[in-house]
Amino acid sequence: MTESPRIANVDMAAAWDGDEGANWAAHADHYDNAAARYNAHLLEHINQSDHVLDIGCGNGSSTRDAARGAETVLGLDLSSQMLAYARERAAAEGLTNVRFEQGDAQVHPFEPASFDVAISRFGALFFSDPVAAFANIARALRNDGRLAVLGWQTLEHNEWLSAPRGALAMGRDLPTPPLGAPGPFGLADADSDHRILVDAGFDDVAVEDVAELLSMGTDADDAYAFVSDIGPVRGMLADLDEAQKSQALANLREVITSHETPDGVLLGSRAWLITARRP
């Protein structure tokens, strides 16, 4: 019998191993293509001989890319739906040096000192106790092991979220997800990120500004079908009546169409690349 994963982050587990994870698995190609340009910022921290831990691996795009340049890779995520997709894709691509486990990085029983590097492409934003989570990740790293984590900067630097918010506001003063709380801006405060990692036992902490365009779809129709069904958009539509919802979606389609290019629908984004070392 498979042992149930240890869970401390109960609210996030309910979402990611529930409806939100199911949505991400259903739209796996869109989600992975959107952020694909960020993978290179993580891969530059991986060597061919490394044993790699990918935290919050989701549908496994970053895990599979890491596996092509590392000795072995373990992808960890809360979502059973996304992990099932990740396993299928890894097998279809003939990757034999990658495996996936369901778990909460905050309390997962990693084998101590078993990885050379831990990475995360926007998967480490949702910890209920980030110091405890990163301390647990640190214990999984060998002495002098490295960490490379991507986290979104604040709302005004991320057009992929601010542009849909503007289209869907419909005169409302929409709340902004708080900095530092589990969610898209969980690592948006660079000074806080530095403190968290030092408190978790890391040193040589550095926070680098990186910017990439997110590809939301191949054309306006493709991007609209995807963006109109992502979690933040569904949340912003929830309390509108049918007439308001129809207008809000028309506004969203207009915004998406205005960002259509020969290379697809592209929206701006900025993130922090947070690196550190276990002493």
Q: What CATH number corresponds to the domain at position 45?
A: 3.40.50.150
Other beta carbons less than 10 A from residue 242's beta carbon: 7
Contact 75, 110 (CB under 8 A): no
Report if residue 183 sits inside a domain: yes
Please report whether residue 256 resides in a domain. Answer: no
Q: Tell me the per-residue pLDDT of 58-101, one tens digit each, with 9 for 90 and over.
A: 999 999 999 999 999 999 999 999 999 999 999 999 999 999 99
Q: Which residue shows structure tokens 């001989």?
A: 49
The domain of 189 spans 10-155+177-216+267-277
Strands 115-121 and 141-152: parallel
12-42 residues labelled b (16+ CB within 10 A) or e (exposed): bbebbbeebbebbbebbebbbbbbbbbbebb
Q: How many domains does the chain have?
A: 1
Digits of tens for pLDDT over the chain (279 positions)?
456 788 888 988 898 999 999 999 999 999 999 999 999 999 999 999 999 999 999 999 999 999 999 999 999 999 999 999 999 999 999 999 999 999 999 999 999 999 999 999 999 999 999 999 999 999 999 999 999 999 999 999 999 999 999 999 999 999 888 899 999 999 999 999 999 999 999 999 999 999 999 999 999 999 999 999 999 999 999 999 999 999 999 999 999 999 999 999 999 999 999 999 999
CB 124, CB 24: distance < 8 Å: no
| 84: in domain | yes
- The answer to whether residue 117 sits within a structural domain is yes
What predicted TM-score, i.e. pTM, was given to this entire model? 0.95
User: Is residue 111 included in any domain, yes or no?
Assistant: yes
Please give the Cα distance from 75 to 62 (Å, whole number): 9
Q: What single DSSP character describes residue 218?
A: S
75 lies in some domain: yes
- Residue 1: the pLDDT is 42
238 within a domain of the structure (yes/no): no
Q: Determine, yes or no, domain membership for 127.
A: yes
